[in-house]
Amino acid sequence: MDRKDGSNHKETSEIWKQNEKQTDQEKSTAFGNMLERSLNATYLSMGLTLGGELGLFDRILEQDSLTCQELAEKSQTKQCFVNEWLGLMVSSGIIDCIPDSDPERYFIADYKKSSLQGQYSWLAWAKELSGYFKTYDTVSQCFKLSGPRGVDRNQLDAFYDFYENMDKESADKWSEMKSTFAQIPGLIQNFENGIEALDVGCGGGNIFISLALQFPKSTFYGVEISEKALQVARKNAENCGVKNIKFIVADATNLPKEWTGKFKYVHTSHVHHDSSRPRKVTSEIFRVLASKGSLSIFENGTNGRHGDKSSDPNYLMGYFISTFACVPNATYDEKAEEPLGVYVSKRTIIKMMEDCGFSASVVGGEDKSIESPVHNHGSTILHYHGLKN
């Protein structure tokens, strides 16, 4: 299920709604009920994660129906464990039983299937949770003054190795992206004439592959610290048949020396809040930009205050990821700067850009058109433009 429209977040917000007309006693009961539902949801999530990881859902989806024993055999698991897991899934309404079957036969109703299959299904997101379970203890230790600085990126693979696979059809999205790039004066004309452009922390490369398809006279570069991300990016470029793009493993805090003044345009999306040295990354970008070159940063831009997000579950997932992945990842490096956190404030980003020498402004907001589905948590993405005068 694609979460681009954010509709599911709106549904979730109902859980938190308070009724001002209630007495304190009623509010207290409703609050307790909400906590109970939240805990139940956590128990269920752990079961979803397990079933996703062990392929239990896949085995059920392959059949019209099957018994516990058949499921255990097909998934190479122990029946006594699978039996309890099935109880958890049936009692939470995820898996269905054929009435009066003996032994009981289990199935998944057709209308539930799309949420449990595919790269961006809810089950895929639930599977990602297993990574958080594995690092839970370390993150908990990191909170303590006497604890470790952060968590090694390699331990956070479940979160970071979630890059979008593309083919030519899905890469053809210039009509959706055009208005975003038009926010930078002259940029589209430059792409048409032919420039060198760099995507810092490009992940699976989706945005620049789309640009490379559209602008054959320009040369696009993507740098990534993660070799695994670039494997996806190179495969995506191959699938799309683009030749004017190069992917290079590099640390954005130390870009190649020979790149000074090379690029007319640098793009970076959702990298600063993940980076251990966001200010150093910004100053490196300043160095590799040509004079009059432009930088786009796509990042959150809140006012930095929690109170304004009170009882707003749109921010819940982002803060969860930031607590368990972004900040622990960003603080691991011994040279780490103060981490930004996922809902970094607009003022912080603008100041960081200005400190690095840019004329900085916000040129667009809340534009989802160039978002990968991975990043649709929260609703405060801004387009920051930095000009190297």
Ligand X SMILES: C[S@@+](CC[C@H](N)C(=O)[O-])C[C@H]1O[C@@H](n2cnc3c(N)ncnc32)[C@H](O)[C@@H]1O
Return the range that interacts with ligand X (CB under 6 A); candidates 62-70, 234-242, 264-272, 360-368.
Answer: 264-272
What are the φ and ψ backbone dihedral angles of 88, each rounded to 5 degrees? -60, -45
Task: Give Cβ neighbours of residue 9 (< 8 Å, ≥ 6 apart).
Answer: 3, 313, 314
Return the range that interacts with ligand X (CB under 6 A); candidates 43-51, 86-94, 97-105, 224-232.
Answer: 224-232
Site for ligand X in 154-173 (CB under 6 A): 160
Beta-ladder partners of 223: 200, 248
Nearer to ligand X, 65 or 283 (CB): 283
CB 159 within 8 A of CB 134: no
- Take residue 269 and report the two structure tokens written for it: 């999306």
Return the range that interacts with ligand X (CB under 6 A); candidates 81-89, 221-229, 235-243, 356-364.
Answer: 221-229
Among 47, 51, 52, 203, binds ligand X (CB under 6 A): 203
Q: Note whether 225 binds ligand X by CB under 6 A.
A: yes
- Take residue 129 and report the two structure tokens written for it: 């949770």
* Sign of the alpha-carbon torsion through 177, 180, 186, 191: negative
| C-alpha distances in Å from residue 78, one per residue of 73, 244, 313 | 8, 51, 38
Nearer to ligand X, 3 or 112 (CB): 3
Site string for ligand X, 358-387 (x = CB under 6 A): --------------x-xx------------
Site string for ligand X, 241-260 (x = CB under 6 A): ----------xxx-------
Return the range that interacts with ligand X (CB under 6 A); candidates 60-68, 79-87, 106-114, 198-206.
Answer: 198-206
Among 196, 274, 284, 299, binds ligand X (CB under 6 A): 274
Q: Note whether 272 binds ligand X by CB under 6 A.
A: no
- DSSP strand E in 65-163: where? 66-67, 96-97, 105-107
Among 72, 86, 151, 202, binds ligand X (CB under 6 A): 202
The three-state (H, E, C) secondary structure of 138-192, written as one string? HHHHHHCCCCCCCCCHHHHHHHHCCCCCCCHHHHCCHHHHHHHHCCCCCHHHHHH
Q: Note whether 201 binds ligand X by CB under 6 A.
A: yes
Is the bond preceding residue 103 a cis peptide, omega within 30 degrees? yes
Q: How far is the CB of 272 from ligand X (least distance, A)?
A: 9
Q: Which residues bind ligand X (CB under 6 A)?
A: 160, 201-203, 223-226, 229, 251-253, 269-271, 274-275, 372, 374-375
